[in-house]
Amino acid sequence: MVQDKQPITADDLCQITTVEDPRISPDGRWIAYVQTTVDRLDNGYKRNIWLVSTAGGKPIQITRSGKDTQPRWSPDGKTLAFTSGRNDKPQIYLLPVSEPGGEPRPLTHMLNGAYSPAWSPDGQQIAFLSAANAGEREREDRGEEEPKPADRLESRHRKERREYDEIQRWDPRIVRRIPYRTGTAYLDDRFAQVYVESIENGENKPRRLTNTDADHSQPQWSPDGQYVYTSRTDDPERGEPWRWSTLYRIRVSDGAHEELTASDYASHTPLPSPDGRWVAYVRYPRERISERITRLAVLPVGGGEPRDLTLTFDRSAADFRWLPDSSGLIFSALSMGSVEIYRLTLADGVIEKVITGDLHADGLDIAANGGIAFTASTPANPSELYWQAAGTASFEPMTAANQKFLERVIVQEAHELRWISPAGVEIQGWYMLPVGYEAGKTYPLAFNIHGGPHVMWGPSMKSMWHEWQFHAARGYVVFYANPRGAEGYGEAFQMALHAAWGDVASEDLMAGLDVLLEKGFVDPARMAITGGSYGGYMVAWIVGHTDRFRAAVAQRGVYNLLSFTGTTDIFSFIGTEYGMEMWDDPMFLWQQSPLAHAHKIKTPLLLLHSENDFRVPISEGEQLFAYVHRSGGTVELVRFPREGHELSRSGEPEHRISRLEHMVNWFDRYTGGEQS
């Protein structure tokens, strides 16, 4: 019964299961996928591989190490290759699925691990990635091998020695490139290379096909098995390799490689068509690259110019697969708060929606008969696997991973809201009423602002699903929107934020707030505001220009455009977004920084930041804390050790829960809301 359900708590984060990476068997009978759960005892996550029949039925768990990802079917459907970290470094394993109860065996034994397996068309080889530095590659080329340890004691000592030598190698650390750190780690001199290995036990050693100080993307085989396709930077000496990514075709027999794309676009994720005539991929113009939509393109294998397939569609493509007959592609795309799935026909360029709804599809695959498997979140469910059979217009859930959780909690509905900003542009947003809402009463507001700045939010946003429901459960009206700059509304809308991060978006957002207030259920004297990354920038910008909010929580935000550029792992980002280098007009960039206005902030401000955030280093939060504190404002800084920029999405579960509690308790303290 509804009345028996409970409001969602911060701890309920640990009850949510995520379903990812669906892969359909060659005969179309099974879907393999990854299921991720929170391991509260170890303060981490467990990832295992499951199977479910496309005909329906109860899913079957087939791995149990808690460290298994990337399931990939052999061409005959009898074996799954997957990546597992069950024995220290990740390696490729093979699991016979045609033999019930079969045990996986390791295929690779790479010194630095292996991942991203891809089966050859004949099923006799697997291409994969493994990192190696120049010295390690030279030793491979000479055929040098480390002798096998005599016993476990010697094996353990070797491991300890390698770990010690690795630490000593970087003490002190000499930096000669940018970026030199990313995620939560410093980069070393190892780069992901493409290897191939026979699946026969002990028959062959892995053979490396590349020898470049650059990271390669996941390999993809040509249908005839003669080549693998990949992407990497066209110049390893340049910084930000993703910006200079180019497609390559590598001949498997001798490793000869051919550059396929020109330097005016950044090109990624090549995927050859089943008939071998085309390579599909995504690309961005390098000019103003961070502001552009993702274009799905094809390149004729026999020679010719690439063709953009989604340019007039004017939406960013995400995941994509070829139709089995090579006549076109299916792809997911961001549009107006949803991520739905489309079919594109090569012959005429026609794009039609094939899977529609208020959902956020984040992984897909297509069967030989045209059936589509995909994972998605919806406003009512944070993550499940779905199946749309060939020739049908509707899809069905294939998993009930979150059913027990959803049966016991209250899930609030999202309501769409649209308004015209002062610039005359229509803006889309959503609000949720608090749990226990009573008509005629007013409630405090939790105003959420997205990051990016080119992220698109919607009511099915997986990374925010629990957080918004938690805000509503604690008695807040929840409000969020996609101001100019967001994806999903066309490239012109996305580029409208250029050189004006604060003024443009705040105009759209504050106009939406006024429209929401007209509905009468928000108490204008009890409003809180929060956001992360660019959303953190906007929180600090807004409270530096208005005192309308009683509480503010800025998370992992960019507060000083000048210092950010010199410390982030995306050093050209501000130069692209503002059309200038830091030395061109530093005073303009300073005035565009929230820090320049921080002395005016009198709204009680909580700063949440991770100590190992190399995307937006914690020095940004430290500066804002000092400025607000020195100017007499109310401010606190919460530092999360070991965490990076992805704290809210994939950080340690205890830290993620702590972050939510710090945020809402701050809201409560200054809006008069409930205290936990």
**What tens digit of pLDDT does each residue of 469-479 get?**
999 999 999 99
| Confidence class for position 300, pLDDT limits 50, 70, 90 | very high
Over range 416-423, report the average pLDDT.
97
573-614 per-position pLDDT tens digit:
999 999 999 999 999 999 999 999 999 999 999 999 999 999
- With a CB cutoff of 8 Å and minimum separation 6, the contacts of 591 are none
> What would the two tokens of residue 339 be?
């991520």
Element counts in the chain: helices (H) and strands (E) = 13, 38
Q: In what helix (H) or strand (E) does residue 317 lie, and over which residues does it extend? A: strand 317-322
Give the gyration radius of the chain's Cα atoms.
Answer: 26
Contact 537, 552 (CB under 8 A): no
Strand ranges in 620-664 using DSSP code E only, listed in sequence order: 635-640
Q: Is the pLDDT of residue 628 over 70?
A: yes
- With a CB cutoff of 8 Å and minimum separation 6, the contacts of 154 are none
Contact 50, 32 (CB under 8 A): yes
Place of tokens 């996986």: 104
> What would the two tokens of residue 291 be?
């502001």
Q: Which amino acid is at 607?
A: L
Beta bridge partners of 45: 38
Residues counted in the chain? 676
Place of tokens 């899930």: 411
Could you give the C-alpha distances from 4 to 407, 409, 438, 472, in angstroms and in order? 10, 9, 18, 17
| Confidence class for position 158, pLDDT limits 50, 70, 90 | confident
Please choose, from the candidates 61, 81, 78, the residue with its C-alpha nearest in 3D space to the C-alpha of residue 69.
Answer: 81
Residue 161 or 483, more confident = 483
What is the Cα–Cα distance from 560 to 389, expressed in whole angstroms? 51
Tell me if residue 645 is catalytic: yes
Strand ranges in 489-648 using DSSP code E only, listed in sequence order: 522-532, 551-555, 605-610, 635-640
- The pLDDT value given to residue 598: 98
Over range 180-186, report the average pLDDT.
92
Angle between helices 462-473 and 653-671 (to 10 degrees): 40
- With a CB cutoff of 8 Å and minimum separation 6, the contacts of 488 are 315, 316, 334, 335, 336, 337, 456, 458, 482
196-254 per-position pLDDT tens digit:
999 986 556 899 999 999 999 999 999 999 999 999 998 888 888 989 999 999 999 99
What is the Cα–Cα distance from 223 to 216, expressed in whole angstroms? 20
What is the Cα–Cα distance from 432 to 292, expressed in whole angstroms? 31
Over range 435-455, report the average pLDDT.
97
Q: What is the largest CA-CA distance in the chain?
A: 79
Contact 508, 481 (CB under 8 A): yes
DSSP state of 571: T
Q: Can you give the pTM of this predicted structure? A: 0.95
What is the Cα–Cα distance from 371 to 388, expressed in whole angstroms? 6
- The pLDDT value given to residue 159: 84
- The pLDDT value given to residue 201: 63
Over range 519-542, report the average pLDDT.
98
Domain spans, the chain: 412-671
Q: Is 208 buried (19+), middle (13-18) or exposed (0-12) by CB count in 10 A?
A: middle
| Confidence class for position 675, pLDDT limits 50, 70, 90 | very low
State the chain's mean pLDDT as an integer.
95
Q: What are phi and psi of 354, to 5 degrees?
A: -110, -25
Please choose, from the candidates 423, 429, 420, 375, the residue with its C-alpha nearest in 3D space to the C-alpha of residue 402.
Answer: 375
- When mean pLDDT is compared across 69-78, 301-310, 417-426, 596-605, the lowest value belongs to 301-310
> What would the two tokens of residue 569 be?
């792992």
| Order of strands, sheet of 307-308, starting from the edge strand that comes earlier in the sequence | 265-272, 278-285, 295-300, 307-308
Beta bridge partners of 486: none
Over range 614-628, report the average pLDDT.
98
Q: Which amino acid is at 312?
A: T
Please choose, from the candidates 621, 491, 483, the residue with its C-alpha nearest in 3D space to the C-alpha of residue 560.
Answer: 621
23-53 per-position pLDDT tens digit:
999 999 999 999 999 999 999 999 999 999 9
Please choose, from the candidates 502, 517, 514, 623, the residue with its C-alpha nearest in 3D space to the C-alpha of residue 567.
Answer: 623
Over range 169-186, report the average pLDDT.
91
What is the Cα–Cα distance from 321 to 328, expressed in whole angstroms? 9
Catalytic residue chosen out of the listed positions 450, 454, 645, 662: 645
Tell me if residue 360 is catalytic: no
Angle between helices 501-517 and 534-543 (to 10 degrees): 70
Strands 551-555 and 522-532: parallel
Over range 274-287, report the average pLDDT.
96
Strands 522-532 and 477-482: unpaired
Q: Percent of the chain scored above 90 by pLDDT?
A: 90
65-75 per-position pLDDT tens digit:
999 999 999 99
Sign of CA dihedral 543, 429, 577, 318: positive
Query: 3-state class of 497 per DSSP?
Result: coil
Over range 345-372, report the average pLDDT.
96
Over range 370-382, report the average pLDDT.
98
- The pLDDT value given to residue 1: 46
Contact 507, 541 (CB under 8 A): no
What is the Cα–Cα distance from 111 to 92, expressed in whole angstroms? 12
The reply to whether omega before 104 is within 30° of 0 (cis) is: no
Catalytic residue chosen out of the listed positions 84, 267, 383, 533: 533
317-331 per-position pLDDT tens digit:
999 999 999 999 999
Contact 293, 494 (CB under 8 A): yes
> What would the two tokens of residue 477 be?
């009206």
CATH code 3.40.50.1820 for 412-671: yes
53-100 per-position pLDDT tens digit:
999 999 999 999 999 999 999 999 999 999 999 998 999 999 999 776
Over range 632-647, report the average pLDDT.
98
Q: Is the pLDDT of residue 2 over 60?
A: no
Helices (H), 170-217: none
What is the Cα–Cα distance from 190 to 111, expressed in whole angstroms? 12
Q: Is 611 buried (19+), middle (13-18) or exposed (0-12) by CB count in 10 A?
A: middle
Q: Which amino acid is at 580?
A: M
DSSP state of 11: G
Dihedral through CA 584, CA 585, CA 589, CA 595, nearest 10?
A: 120
